[in-house]
Amino acid sequence: MEDHLQINREHWNELVAINAGSEFYDLASFRAGQSSLLPIEIKELGDVRDKSLLHLQCHFGMDTLSWAKRGARVTGVDFSDEAIALARSLSQELKLDAAFVCSDIYSLPDVLSGTFDIVYTSYGVLCWLSDLRRWAEIIAHFLKPGGAFYIVEEHPLANIFDDDEAKTGIKVAYPYFDSAEPFRWELDGSYADRGATLHHRVTYEWQHDLAEIVNALIAAGLEIEFLHEFPFCMYQKFACMEKGGDGWWRIKGFDNVLPLLFSLKATKSM
């Protein structure tokens, strides 16, 4: 059996340099002082000043460091050693106080101690996780009593459609409900640079429906404060999308029809 975790890690290690050099991430603007956070998470998570924040699956730390700029005491976690190396370099370069830990989610309790006011994760994270029950348990483990978990993420419904760039519309191509076995992909390119040529082209991803996500958090003892759904996306997921004046991407002809993002906040009891 192939090692799903290691294969995905090799893929993401290769993506670090590609993504860091892309217009999508625009590291030059970030280095000049621009935040990488989007309006949804800024509004919904609120004031983070003097709060400890654990950022799961942080990639190379732009969002983690953006929360640090807003006054949080941040710790970023990612399974890619290349990503963590760049995150630490950016932290030192920008003189932002941040800790970064190289670990996959499931091994994190073995290498990180303490609890946090906030556990945060966002945009393109859940498909890389095989076990959401264990994921939710780890979130609960790292939350202080009264602490909050927050996620903003692509809606599971958006993952059922064919995203072939040669097509001008969308069609249902994949199941909505989760399955035990992952999808195996072998593709070039990155969401940040679709023309990139990769050496590590194989990835494994899992589909998780909305009920599975919510119920995993409830089973871990967290209380759902809100669940929001949005008819737009943070990037051009499909070729038939167009960018609005507000900066969000929508499917042409499907305004306010399909959910493309969701956000959720849950708290741990005192």
pLDDT in tens, the chain (270 residues): 469 999 999 999 999 999 999 999 999 999 999 999 999 999 999 999 999 999 999 999 999 999 999 999 999 999 999 999 999 999 999 999 999 999 999 999 999 999 999 999 999 999 999 999 999 999 999 999 999 999 999 999 999 998 766 666 788 999 999 877 899 999 888 899 988 999 999 999 999 999 999 999 999 999 999 999 999 999 999 888 999 999 999 998 888 889 999 999 999 998
Q: What is the DSSP string of 142-166?
A: HEEEEEEEEEEEE-GGGGGB---TT
> What global pTM score does this model have?
0.96
User: Parallel, antiparallel, or unpaired: how do β-strands 222-230 and 261-268 relate?
Assistant: antiparallel
Question: Are residues 46 and 72 in contact, defined by beta-carbon separation less than 8 angstroms?
Answer: no
Is 118 in contact with 82 (CB distance < 8 Å)? no
Predicted local confidence at residue 162, as pLDDT: 86
Which domains can be identified in the chain, with CATH numbers?
4-268 (3.40.50.150)
